[in-house]
Structure 1
Amino acid sequence: MNRKIIAGLAATLACSAVLADEIRNYRAEAVAMMKRDFKAKGIATTDRLHEDGVQAICNRSGDNPPKDIAARLEKDQLESVKYPADGKLMGDWKAGEKLAQSGRGMTWSDKAGVPGGGNCYNCHQISPTEMSFGTIGPSLYQFGKTRGNTPDMQKYVYGKIWNAKAYNLCSQMPRFGHVNALNEKQIKDLVALLLDPQSPVNSK
């Protein structure tokens, strides 16, 4: 290897090291700013600023961690899912639609213990009658019609809503059950919204 190539590699490595230091500094500054500016009020406490291990790995890898690490952590996340003791995974799709429409909850003005909403339409198309929906997540319209509502599919959907990171470690979807944003009944109702043949999601 000639001297020009060696010099070029050395310069590249030096720039990479400087860039890495700058990224670390920017991150530290951003974290310090959030800790300074976010104040606890009501049920909106500053513990929401704390990363758990999974969030830290995704944040530091640009949502692209090594595959072996991702697979191991997804397995851990799946084992954390708490399925209903009664074995029933589907509830009332009508309640699920109301829940999907509601973005209420977890703000400083909300009362502790009051069930919040799922805000599902913020990221997904679901019912054909709702024209205002986000596209961060995939369309769920006719989800049950195309995938069926077998016990395995019900279990998958319940687990996905409970903890999406069990299936995609760096998913942008909230871990609704894992962080107690939604309770068991609410998740059952959302499963029904997506899978019940009578749900408007699947009936047309």
Structure 2
Amino acid sequence: MRPYARLGLLVVSAIVAGCATAIDESETAARAAAALKASFRPAGQAGLDRLEQDETQRACSLAAGKAPPKDVAAMIEQTNLATIRYPADGKLLGDWKNGERIAQEGRGKQFSDDPKGPVGANCYACHQLSKGELSFGTIGPSLYQYGKLRGNSVDVQRYTFGKIYNSEAFTACTNMPRFGHKGILSEQQIKDVAALLLDPASPVNQ
């Protein structure tokens, strides 16, 4: 049985195991989702596909903001780990200067964005990356001196590339977007952001 099929069974089991109130809530959620879908239209870089949850998103929604059960979390991570596509050329790091631009670029995947325009990672919305940055979010951990603290081994490079590509492979129900899995960033963009985090010359590691 494929990982996503097993994850789907876990989600269904969680629903069936709930009480009548949970079923009522499920019906209410379905009606709310239908109302949302009816009220939206595709515009800019935002399509209606983002209203459709995959098995991972459904499982995390059932957790309602809390850590999912250990078996569900393990299946989520296993399922998403299988989706990571590492570069065929074996090169995991790109240009950190391009990575800096991508990290600071907040445009992308919004209804107001030009469909042909740039798509960034908007890393500073959730993380501190450099000492000189005056404004940054705190939803995610500080990444300042990320490479300086972890080193630049192949294992660290693979983890970093994979984490950016699909964060759910390492932390179930994380707030971090699945940049590669969802097609938000290209392979080269992920390489560049990974270089920003790991290159000794990057402002992240000063």
TM-score of the superposed pair, with normalisation by structure 2: 0.84
TM-superposition CA deviations, 1:126-153 (whole Å, max 9, x none): 1111111001000000111111111100
C-alpha separation between the residues in 2 aligned to 1:72 and 1:21? Answer: 23
* Helix, strand or coil at the partner of 1:172: coil
C-alpha separation between the residues in 2 aligned to 1:191 and 1:125? Answer: 15
Q: Does residue 134 in structure 1 map to residue 127 in structure 2? A: no
Q: Does residue 57 in structure 1 map to residue 56 in structure 2? A: no
C-alpha separation between the residues in 1 aligned to 2:135 and 2:173? Answer: 26
Q: How far apart are residue 32 of structure 1 and its match?
A: 2.8
C-alpha separation between the residues in 1 aligned to 2:76 and 2:23? Answer: 27
1:70 counterpart residue number: 73
1:20 counterpart residue number: 22
Match of 2:93 among 90, 93, 107: 90
CA contact (8 A) 1:74 1:168 kept: yes
Q: Tell me whether 19-28 or 169-178 shows the greater mean CA deviation.
A: 19-28
C-alpha separation between the residues in 2 aligned to 1:179 and 1:25? Answer: 27
Match of 1:40 among 39, 42, 49: 42
2:4 counterpart residue number: none
Distance 1:184 1:115, change over 3 A: farther
2:162 counterpart residue number: 159
1:195 counterpart residue number: 198
C-alpha RMSD over aligned residues: 1.8
C-alpha separation between the residues in 2 aligned to 1:24 and 1:74? Answer: 24
Letter in 2 for 1:33: A
C-alpha separation between the residues in 2 aligned to 1:58 and 1:50? Answer: 14
Letter in 2 for 1:74: E
C-alpha separation between the residues in 2 aligned to 1:176 and 1:94? Answer: 19
TM-superposition CA deviations, 1:1-27 (whole Å, max 9, x none): xxxxxxxxxxxxxxx946435533542
TM-superposition CA deviations, 1:65-113 (whole Å, max 9, x none): 2212321231121111111111111111111111111111122343445
Aligned length: 188
Distance 1:73 1:60, change over 3 A: same
1:9 counterpart residue number: none
C-alpha separation between the residues in 2 aligned to 1:200 and 1:35? Answer: 42
1:122 counterpart residue number: 125
C-alpha separation between the residues in 2 aligned to 1:168 and 1:24? Answer: 25
- How many percent identity over aligned positions? 53
C-alpha separation between the residues in 2 aligned to 1:83 and 1:111? Answer: 29
Q: Tell me whether 87-96 or 117-126 shows the greater mean CA deviation.
A: 87-96
Letter in 1 for 2:205: N
Unaligned 5+ runs, structure 2: 1-17
CA contact (8 A) 2:45 2:108 kept: no
* Helix, strand or coil at the partner of 2:131: coil
C-alpha separation between the residues in 2 aligned to 1:119 and 1:42? Answer: 18
Q: How far apart are residue 31 of structure 1 and its match?
A: 1.3
